[in-house]
Amino acid sequence: MLSFDFEYYRPDTIEEAAEIYKELKRMEKQPLYFSGGTEVVSVARKGVLKFNALIDLKNIKEMRDYVPNEEEIYFGANMTLNEVTEQESFLLLSRVVETIADHTVRNRITLGGNICGRLGYREAVLPFLLVDAEVCIAGAEGVKTLSMEAAFDKRLMLSSGEFVTGFKVRKSGSSLDGISIRKVRTTDVDYPLLHIASMKDERGIKLAISGLCPYPFRAKALEQYLNDVEGSDWDIKGIYKLLPAAVKDDHIASSEYRKTVFEKNIEKLMRKWGEA
Amino acid sequence: MILDVNGEKKKVIVSPKDTLLYVLREKLGFTGAKPGCENGDCGACTILLDGKPVKSCLILAVEVEGHSITTIEGLRDTPIQKAFIEESAFQCGYCTPGFIMNCHAMLNTHPDADDKIIREWLSSNLCRCTGYEEIEKAVKRAQNHINVV
């Protein structure tokens, strides 16, 4: 059990959830939106996260929907990661999320929860960063749809009272082939030292990366460099200046170790695309 | 609130801060689900929620009203339970209920699970006695039994 008391609300609609949040804030409470709950429960148990009201979004139907149609695919933010792996319309997304945590926990972790989580990995966002996805964000003013590129900078930029309801991708982008390379230090069930998601279209190779730096990112400068140079005629040590942040150095791995893993796997990725 | 545990309706008073594991064990007496890491890593607390394996230490009891909960006490003479005995797939036994619940759900979902699926599903549970070989044999024995029946 958790060590502190809080109120619990389970709204049935997006509007009701936003209204409850607004009302709780008016009462000077500390509300927190809640979906799969795996991170909230484990972090709150350690006393790292405090709140005095939880707003559980699981009952909101449109946040559980998966709607593939001719033009685009909609993924509700409350789809569990295992539900996402069962869909076949965006295969790179399936491949990326099936490596997060373990199978049992993926029955609870949600797509929105992973992307909005406190941990800096947020791996589920990688495929969305590659396909110019859109994110649907609800708040007191209703639901707005933004491009992922505009809404995601290190993390999803949500204002107070806002929450993610779903993600949209165009079918033309999601149907492209993709490669997911995930490297961990020891066992399969671990945080990634490196997770690269990659796609290729007529403009060239696209890359999104988690685990290497403190936050996930679309590596546009690196993409341009790799697409411009001929064959393997590229300066592997020079690629770090093309990253948006320094390579992480922490208790899981030193930056030198991470760089070695990164260099080997960028080469592997380029070979794979060369063969494709 | 009323919880549906092993097909029976159980009336129980819970606080929002109570985890499902805590309520099952301390308020309803279903002690088969074990507290291990209580951080979602070890799988000793695995139960089935609407037939899917979940870690009950990561779930608040208030979340699951209206859902079907199955604990190890709700299984009787299943193929995987028999196979665990026949293969001696336990040593200290602390992780066993969690493993059995996960294996049971896997065999219901994938009766013909191959090594990849078995490894993927069972990597959710840890055995500190490291009796993994026997657990794998038990799964395969249960598969044979299910497929013969």
CA-based R_g, chain A, Å? 19
Strand-by-strand arrangement of the A142-147 sheet: A66-68, A72-76, A163-170, A134-139, A142-147
Q: Is the whole-model pTM more than 0.80? A: yes
Measured N-to-C along each axis, helices B115-122 and B96-109 cross at an angle, to the nearest 10 degrees, of 140
pLDDT in the model for residue A232: 63
Q: Is A17 helix (H, G, I), strand (E, B) or coil?
A: helix
Residues of B in contact with A58 (CB under 8 A): 63
At residue A43, φ and ψ (nearest 5 deg) are: -75, -40
In tens, the pLDDT along A79-123 reads: 999 999 999 899 999 999 999 999 999 999 999 999 999 999 999
Tens digit of pLDDT at every position of chain B (149 positions): 999 999 999 999 999 999 999 999 999 999 999 999 999 999 999 999 999 999 999 999 999 999 999 999 999 999 999 999 999 999 999 999 999 999 999 999 999 999 999 999 999 999 999 889 999 999 999 999 887 65
In tens, the pLDDT along A172-204 reads: 888 888 999 999 998 888 999 999 999 999 889
pLDDT in the model for residue A231: 62
pLDDT in the model for residue B146: 84
pLDDT in the model for residue A237: 82
Task: Look at A27-36, A72-81, A167-176 and tell me which has the smallest mean pLDDT.
Answer: A167-176
Our measurement of the distance from residue A94's CA atom to the centroid of its chain's CA atoms, rounded to an integer in Å, reads 12
- Which residues in A have their CB inside 8 Å of a CB on B? 1-8, 10, 37-38, 41-42, 45, 54, 56, 58, 82, 101-105, 107-108, 187-189
B63 and A1 within 8 Å at the Cβ level: the answer is no
A4, closest residue in chain B (CA to CA) = B17
Chain A interface disruption, residue of B14, B58, B102, B127, most A CBs within 10 A: B58
List b or e across A229-259, with b for residues whose CB sees 16 or more CB atoms inside 10 angstroms.
eeeeeeeeeebeeebbeebbeeebbebeebb
Would the ipTM clear 0.85, i.e. be above it?
A: yes
Residues of A in contact with B120 (CB under 8 A): 103
User: CA-CA distance, A133 to A205, in Å (whole number)?
Assistant: 17
Q: What's the distance, Cα to Cα, between the start and end of chain A in Å?
A: 51
pLDDT > 70? residue A274:
yes
The residues with which B68 forms a beta bridge, in sequence order, are B4
List b or e across B68-96, with b for residues whose CB sees 16 or more CB atoms inside 10 angstroms.
ebbbbbbbeebbbbebbeebebbeeebbb
Mean pLDDT of the region A250-267? 95
Our measurement of the distance from residue A264's CA atom to the centroid of its chain's CA atoms, rounded to an integer in Å, reads 24
